Amino acid sequence: MKRPLLPAGWPKPRGYANGVAAHGTQIFIAGQIGWDETGQFLSDGFADQARQALANIVAVLKEAGAGPEDLVRMTWYVTDKREYLAASKDIGQAFRELIGDYDIAMSAVQVVALIEDQAKVEIEATAVIPD
C-alpha cells in the first residue's frame, strides 16, 4: 500500500505528490524514452513521445507483475521546458489514460540533451508492489 505525504498546512499539489510512503517489493525502471518496443520513434511530437515513454513504463511494470497504481516516484528529463509546458494538456491526458494516479512523487528537469538525439523526454520511475 502507498500513502501520499502532505505535511499539515501545505497546499495539495496538482498533478503529483510531495512524497509517498510505501512498503513491499521495489521496482526500479530505467529512463524510458519515446520509442516503441522495436527502438523506433514513431513521432517527433513531444506529447507523443511522452505518451510512448509512459506506455513503456507500463510495459516494464507489467513484466514485474505490477501496474501504474504501484508507482511511487518519477523523474522527467525534458530537452525543452517550453515545449513540455505547451504540450501539458496532451501529456496530462496521456498520463490519466495510462497511469491514472497522481499520488506519485515527481520531478521534472530540463536538460541540455538526451543520449538519443531524437528523444525529447526521458522518464525514470520507481514502483513498490505492496506486501
Torsion angle of C-alpha atoms 98, 102, 106, 107, degrees rounded to 10 = 80
What pLDDT digit, counting tens, does each position of 70-118 carry? 999 999 999 999 999 999 999 999 999 999 988 999 999 999 999 999 9
Domain range annotation of the chain: 24-130
- Express each pLDDT in 43-61 by its tens digit: 999 999 999 999 999 999 9
Report the pLDDT value the prediction gives residue 3, as an integer from 0 to 100: 92
Q: What is the pLDDT of residue 15?
A: 87
For 8, residues 6+ apart whose C-beta sits below 8 A from its C-beta are none
Q: Which helix (H) or strand (E) holds 27?
A: strand 24-33
Alpha helices in the chain (DSSP H): 46-63, 81-86, 88-98
pLDDT in the model for residue 61:
98
Q: Largest Cα–Cα distance of the chain, in whole Å?
A: 47
Q: What local confidence, expressed as pLDDT, does residue 60 receive?
A: 98
Q: What is the mean pLDDT of residues 24-37?
A: 97
Q: Is the pLDDT of residue 1 over 90?
A: no
Reference 77, options 51, 54, 111, 46; nearest CA is 111
The matching CATH number, chosen from 3.40.50.9100, 3.30.1330.40, 3.30.70.330, 1.20.1090.10, for 24-130 is 3.30.1330.40
Averaged over 11-18, what is the pLDDT? 91
Q: What is the rounded distance in angstroms from the CA atom of residue 56 to the CA atom of residue 61?
A: 9
What's the rounded mean pLDDT across residues 39-44? 96
Beta bridge partners of 20: 4
pLDDT (0 to 100) of residue 102: 85
